[in-house]
Structure 1
């Protein structure tokens, strides 16, 4: 689907920005990307565009302005992918996928030290903290995510959908930022990641340099 462009404000390495861009790519939504935030600055321009927080991602679609990454994913699904495999019309199917967008905060809390100390703060590397973080990832994924993925191919159901976006983007912190020797094997999770990371939209939106 190709439509009139929207604008996404953000910086490519941001996991939250990746969610918005990935959703747009999956839906074939044409968009302009405004490089901003972090070292790029332009926070006042983001406020002027309609987001009083001055933060990214910010989406501008005509006169409509939206912030908060999960809200942006849901909006894009509603407007540009409703009643498709990406954003099903069934309330039950949609809610079952939707919960994973918010649950992702649990995974981020678990993975953060392992990622941060390997990528963002190598000078503060602490093997014990990394090990504890990896064990926390193994626990939440093994107890909560893998049982679902043993029954269906994706968090969204039998087909890829918006419910896979949040954890998929965050999983790049684990697979792309934590050395394999420090990760705990999670075979079902690993297979799911292999499927989603092979998608062209993932490669464009998520698998980018830090």
Structure 2
């Protein structure tokens, strides 16, 4: 399977974490958005929306990280532990995946424009991000995992996002500390211990940092 991605991208890393968990190898193809790789005709034939991550499995192509994660589990996982068949559990995982999408978009709107342009951060944007983190902290109360008692796709997607927000601390005046939330900190430390692929996720976070330090 060909996997078009960037190591520093949180959505891309959530797919890589999923692949690690189910024990499959992806043929990784770095797509450099800065040089317009995503707009080349050969990639537009694969993904007219020209976004990453994008997965190509034979004649089938798919984009949007959470959709790819679910596809990989349903198609290749030997068990359903990451995305259990129980309707209620699966519904909660889906809800948390949508929550993660909103959290990452909130982070992106707040972080990327000023980080790219080296302009001041918007206090209202910071407030919105912190409100989302406070909600995530509440959702984690009394739990080691996002849903249930084992690692699921919800943990993997949120791990990619939270680790990116955590790494963003290197940018001056970002001032959003995920570790100040007790439940998030506990969950994050647990993820470090139990998540296959955590090392590659960390390397991706460092690539994210390196990119902005070179700006």
The structure-2 alpha-carbon separation of the partners of 1:166 and 1:79, relative to structure 1 and needing over 3 Å to count, comes to: same
Deviation at 1:83, TM superposition (A): 4.1
Residue 70 of structure 1 corresponds to 66
Work out the number of aligned pairs and report it. 199
- Give the superposition deviation at 1:32: 0.4
Q: Which residue of 1 aligns with 2:102?
A: 106
Listed as ranges, the matches of 1:173-192 within 5 Å are 173-179=164-170, 182-184=175-177, 185-192=180-187
> Can you list the C-alpha shifts for 1:29-83, whole angstroms capped at 9, x where unaligned?
11100111413543333223x3222322111112221111111011112112264
How far off its partner does 1:117 sit? 6.4
d(CA) in 2 for partners of 1:203, 1:157: 24
Aligned mates of 1:166, 1:38 — CA distance in 2: 22
The answer to whether the 8 A contact 1:7-1:32 is kept is yes
Which structure 1 residue ranges, 5 or more long, are not aligned? 1-5
- Give CA-to-partner distance per residue, 1:77-102, whole Å, 9 cap, x none: 21122643212121211111121111
- Secondary structure (helix, strand or coil) at the match of 1:182 reads coil
Q: Which residue of 2 aligns with 1:148?
A: 139
Which of 23, 26, 33 does residue 28 from structure 2 map onto? 33
Q: CA deviation at 1:181?
A: 8.6
Residue 186 of structure 2 aligns to a residue whose secondary structure is helix
Are 1:135 and 2:127 matched, yes or no?
Answer: yes
Mapped to 2, the partners of 1:72 and 1:186 lie a distance apart of 30
**Which runs of 5 or more structure 2 residues have no equivalent in the other structure?**
209-215
Secondary structure at the aligned position of 1:155 is classed as coil
TM-score normalised per structure 2:
0.80
1:92 aligns with 2:88: yes
Q: Identify the range of structure 1 (83-92 vs 68-77) with the bigger mean alpha-carbon deviation.
A: 83-92
- RMSD of the alignment, in Å? 2.5
